[in-house]
Structure 1
């Protein structure tokens, strides 16, 4: 047997009609505490993702520069610019003809170990060994490094300091 709402007394109808103001305030307070705890973790994860993305972009640009130097049988230069907007990695030929441009996140920064910007790949698969460090403006982010050996082997390392 189902009791209809109309058959209930007005006092019982008022008690079951919705949330009280106190219940709503407690729920909002609990949500605010949870968001306050989670926000720093989320911003660090976003910064780590930016570093990871910029690292992958730099590694791809280095691999393309290496391949283009072999295919074209001429030196190919890679340079990066941390001051432009958008920030760019550029691959060029000796006569300054642009082969490729790669943009990376404005909050990321690329630095190299020995200030060898630009770096030149030779068709004989040789290059000056260099270690690039990628950092984010969020200091909590974990920096990454891209290292290039003298034989133009490119590897990514999860370390470094900004």
Structure 2
């Protein structure tokens, strides 16, 4: 972001005294997320999946054998929503659900699931590269650091 653009944003979205309007800031974060999700969903359709499905495949690849509850948490979904999604992925032969200890059902990618995951990664790299193109590397590092700090701090406060 150039200095002029930053100054302009501060003037437009600040309260008297220079405080940033938090509703405007929150909405800007939500708008960026929404644009990412829309672009990803649109482009992932070309490789035969959706953002929710691809994100689930990604979570399973990171934690093979994870339970539905663990994967629901990792994908920011409720248990019931993830269970429905996992059922669709299993019906498409992208995921295997295996009996674990007790009542635990473990999730694993199939070869088809791995192929879909990799195809989705190629799409995500392109979409995110275009989205973050206006930021230079230093700005990206700063943004990532700030968002991670917010995530850590947010966990301490309801």
TM-score norm. by structure 2 comes to 0.25
Larger radius of gyration: 1
Structure with more of its chain in strand, by fraction: 1
TM-score norm. by structure 1 comes to 0.25
Structure with more of its chain in helix, by fraction: 2
